[in-house]
A = this chain, B = another copy of it.
Amino acid sequence: MIQIAILGYGTVGSGVYEITQKNAKSIKRKSGKEIVVKRILDLREFDDHPHKELFTKDFDDILNDSDISIVVETIGGLEPAYRFTKSALLAGKSVVTSNKELVATHGTELLRIAREQNVNYLFEASVGGGIPIIRPLNGCLAANEITEIFGILNGTTNYILTKMIKDGESFADALRQAQEKGYAERNPEADVEGHDACRKICILASLAFGKAVDADKIHTEGITNITLEDVREAADLGYVIKLIGYTKKTEDGRAICRVSPMLVPEGNPLSGVEDVFNAIMVRGDSIGDVMFYGRGAGKLPTASAVVADVIDIVKGADNKNFIWDEAPEGYMACYKEAVVSLFVRAKGVTKDDVEKVFGSDTVFGRADELCFITPPDKEKELDKKLEALGGEIISRIRVMQEED
């Protein structure tokens, strides 16, 4: 029998408890041992809970309990999650988490401590909710050199964009509906400004390339400036707008990371990912492109990923190589070095002006106002050309290439 503790009995934490109860039999069959929740840490009262004796408000009750070998951290945020996680690892307990902010911020240190203590620090649930992505990256795709990862990493913004694209709702209306459905927080900043997607691409890039990416240094744009005009003119040109987390290894071994809205060509598998679904495309040198698709959030999907990590530890998985190192100075290349096309809506210039600057491969939209897609180039070069063009730039959105 393996005894575990759950820190934080919110949406995900209570889901973890629920799954360990209802699927106890099959979990035992798969892990070879019974998995029992011994303590639950939460500051609130749970007097009506059928097992209220499990609850404690004192973390030391868990830390000092040598029966508890695995701690599930589903508190979220940096503190006290960071302090509790570090103490648990130092006490020789493995920790499983869904806390993307903590992994993105202190993952390098926590993974190092786990390795030194010969325990595991696992975080499958931190990216893509229940979608298997962390383990496949580290295991099933281990024979590949990963060159690029890009995807729809945030369900809230994808729901809002889907409403704008399919139903012609404005950003504000779509956001309100997302809030009514519980997909968006009352303060939606972390989602709509791209911070949530930023933490996830930070984790994926660190894992895929083996060096710590600093989330604070990732260029991050949200979707608050996307208008219905952008959506409509993109559609005219055969694209849908999605919030895309993107990372690529450069030829000199550095990482480019970026979160921003992008025009995705219809026909690209990511273009059909709608509502709160997430999808992550991984490009490897042997495998080519593989995509992982599913619900990127929600109580049971996320909790099932946490429980899968617990099962993995019980089965004795050795994930000590499951780690990234500190990155050297200058490891992160400027996102302006990446090759992109730009979708531009502009005023005060003519088609001829645009063709003179960007050349004859520019693709023009049919709208009354001037709207075009530039040929691909390094973003810093396109910036210079846009400045040379002059006029008033109304929108400027990156375009995913056909081969992306």
Contacts and interface: CB of A to CB of B under 8 A. Distances in A.
A138 B315 CA distance: 12
Nearest to A319: B315
A293 B293 contact: yes
A311 B142 contact: yes
Nearest to A27: B143
A143 B309 CA distance: 9
**Chain copies in complex:** 2
Interface in A20-41: 23, 26-27, 29-32
Contact of A131 (B290, B305, B306, B316): B290
A303 B286 contact: yes
A390 interface: no
B318 A300 contact: no
A304 interface: yes
Given A31-B321, A145-B23, A272-B272, A130 B304 contact: no
B317 A301 contact: no
A307 B130 contact: no
A285 B285 CA distance: 34
A8 interface: no
Interface string A291-302: 111110010110
Q: How large is the interface on A (under 10, 10 to 19, 20 to 34, 35 or more residues)?
A: 35 or more
A269 interface: yes
A143 B311 contact: yes
A140 B308 contact: yes
A145 B30 CA distance: 11
A210 interface: yes
B311 A286 contact: no
Contacts of A23: 143-145, 285-286
A230 to B, nearest CB: 23
A388 interface: no
Interface in A265-298: 267, 269, 272-273, 284-295, 298
Nearest to A299: B286
A311 B300 CA distance: 31
Given A292-B290, A304-B284, A321 B32 contact: yes
Q: Interface centre among A139, A269, A294, A312, by most B CB within 10 Å?
A: A139
Contacts of A303: 143, 286
Nearest 8 Cβ contacts at the A-B interface: A132-B140, A143-B307, A290-B294, A286-B304, A291-B293, A286-B300, A130-B287, A132-B136
26 contacts: A15-B286, A29-B210, A124-B140, A131-B290, A132-B132, A132-B136, A132-B140, A132-B290, A136-B140, A140-B305, A143-B306, A267-B272, A272-B272, A284-B304, A286-B301, A286-B303, A287-B295, A287-B300, A287-B305, A288-B294, A288-B298, A290-B292, A290-B294, A316-B316, A316-B318, A317-B317
A68 interface: no
Interface in A132-172: 132, 135-136, 138-145
Given A32-B321, A136-B135, A143-B23, A293 B290 contact: yes
A145 B24 CA distance: 11
